[in-house]
């Protein structure tokens, strides 16, 4: 199998993931898009591992690591999304603007 096939597929997957992260509003969909990006990386790791015929199979080992990390991340992420949903009745990230910098009530006088 040609390496380019796997790399292009992985790039497409990553692009879909980026699009999802940037464009989707649902927090759960956001998490799924993140998973897509992680797995695009996994695909690359495995493909290059096979291509270079690495004796220690570092690529595959890293892919296994990533799967575990992704699972943990999704666990934490879903927990947060659940908590937010319970608190606010929404998982729409556009409405979660708690970190916005609001206009201060009065600008401090610096003229002394």
- Where does this chain bind other proteins (CB under 8 A)? 18, 21-23, 93-94, 96-101, 103, 107, 110-112
Angle between helices 58-88 and 27-52 (to 10 degrees): 180
Closer to other proteins by Cβ: residue 12 or 96? 96
Distance between CA atoms of residues 85 and 50, nearest Å? 43
Choice between 34 and 49, CB closer to other proteins = 34
CB of residue 112 to other proteins, shortest distance in Å: 6
Minimum CB–partner distance for residue 23 and other proteins (Å): 8
> Given the complex with other proteins, which of 17 and 59 has the nearer CB atom?
17
Q: CB of 89 within 8 A of CB of 74?
A: no
Q: Is 97 helix (H, G, I), strand (E, B) or coil?
A: coil
For residue 45, which of 18, 65, 17 has the smallest C-alpha distance?
Answer: 65
Taking the complex as a whole, how short is the minimal distance between the CB of residue 93 and other proteins, in angstroms?
Answer: 6
Nearer to other proteins, 5 or 96 (CB): 96
Q: How far is the CB of 94 from other proteins (least distance, A)?
A: 7
Q: CB within 8 A of 52, min separation 6: which ones?
A: 59
């Amino acid at each position: 199998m040609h390496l380019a096939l796997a790399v292009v597929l992985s790039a497409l997957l990553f692009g879909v993931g980026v699009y999802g992260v940037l464009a989707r509003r649902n927090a759960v969909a956001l998490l799924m898009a993140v998973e897509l990006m992680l797995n695009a990386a996994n695909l690359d790791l495995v493909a290059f591992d096979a291509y270079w015929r690495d004796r220690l199979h570092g690529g595959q080992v890293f892919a296994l690591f990533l799967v575990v990390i992704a699972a943990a991340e999704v666990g934490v992420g879903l927990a947060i999304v659940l908590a937010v949903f319970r608190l606010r009745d929404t998982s729409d990230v556009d409405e979660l603007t708690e970190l916005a910098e609001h206009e201060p009530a009065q600008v401090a006088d610096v003229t002394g």
